[in-house]
Structure 1
C-alpha cells in the first residue's frame, strides 16, 4: 500500500491518455482508408493489390468474443507485431504514429505505452465495432 502511495505521490503512475475519436476518424481517413476502406471493412481501393487482404476492422470485438483487442491493434499499428501485407511492414505510415508516449489500457487493464495518434485511432475503431 505504501508503494502505491509513493508511486502516486511521485507522479509515476500513468493516467490513461484522453481519447479523441473524431481525431482518430480523420487519421483513419488519411492513413488507413486506402487499404481498409472508408468504413473499415477491408475494401479500400488498394486492397486488391495487397498480398494479405486488409482486415475488417469493424468486427474486431465480435471476433474477440466481445472484447476489443486493444493490445494487438496497438502493436500492429506501431510495428511491434509486424504484418507484411504489401511487400513492406504494416503500417506504411508507422513513423507518423511514433512520438511522445502516452499510457492507455490494454483489454486486460494492463497499462501500455503508445502514441497519442494511436490512442485516437483506437477510440475511432472502438466506436465502429459491429456486433
Structure 2
C-alpha cells in the first residue's frame, strides 16, 4: 500500500473518531427531557411505586402502607390529574396528614433532596423545581 493510501485511511479514521466523539458529546448534551424524567422516576420513585408506577416496587412490601398506584391518579380524581397535589407531595410543601405516605414520613421529600446546595441566586432551586415538574409530567403521561 502506498503512502497516500495510508494517509487517506488514517485521515478518514481520525475524522470518523472525531465525529463519533462529537456525536456522543452532542447526544449527552441533548438528552431528552423525557429521558431525564424517566431516569429520575426510576432512581427516586420506582423502588416503592415500581417501574410501571402501580405501587409494586421492590421496597413496597417493607412499607407500612401500600404505595399509591400512580397510574390511577387521574381516574381516582374524577378524570383530572391532580398536578398541584402531586407537586406539593413530591416537593414537601403538602400539609402534614394530607397523604398517608407523606404524613407517616415513609415517602421521602424529594424536593429537599433536589434543592440541597441551592445557590443564593435561586438557580439551583429553579432547576430542582423543573426536575420535580418533569417527574410529574412523566407520571401524568402514564395514566390509565
Q: Please state which band the TM-score falls in when normalised by the shorter chain.
A: 0.5 to 0.7
The aligned length equals: 101
**Highest RCO, 1 vs 2 (Cα 8 Å, sep ≥ 6):** 1
Cα RMSD of the aligned pairs, angstroms, is 2.4
Match of 1:90 among 107, 113, 120: 107
Offset from partner CA, 1:1-59 (integer Å, 9 cap, x none): xxxxxxxxxxxxxxxxxx93322111000111000000000010111111121000011
Structure 2, unpaired ranges of 5+: 1-31, 116-123
Q: Which has the higher strand share?
A: 1
TM-score, length-scaled by structure 2:
0.61
How far 1:84 moved relative to its partner? Answer: 5.8
Q: Which has the larger radius of gyration?
A: 2
Per the normalisation by structure 1, the TM-score is: 0.66
Classify 1:80/1:89 alpha carbon distance in 2 versus 1 (closer, same or farther; 3 Å). Answer: farther
For structure 1, the 5+ residue unaligned runs are: 1-18, 103-113
1:54 pairs, out of 67, 72, 78, with 67
The structure richer in helix per residue is 2
Q: CA deviation at 1:85?
A: 3.5
Contact 2:92 2:110 in 1 (8 A): no
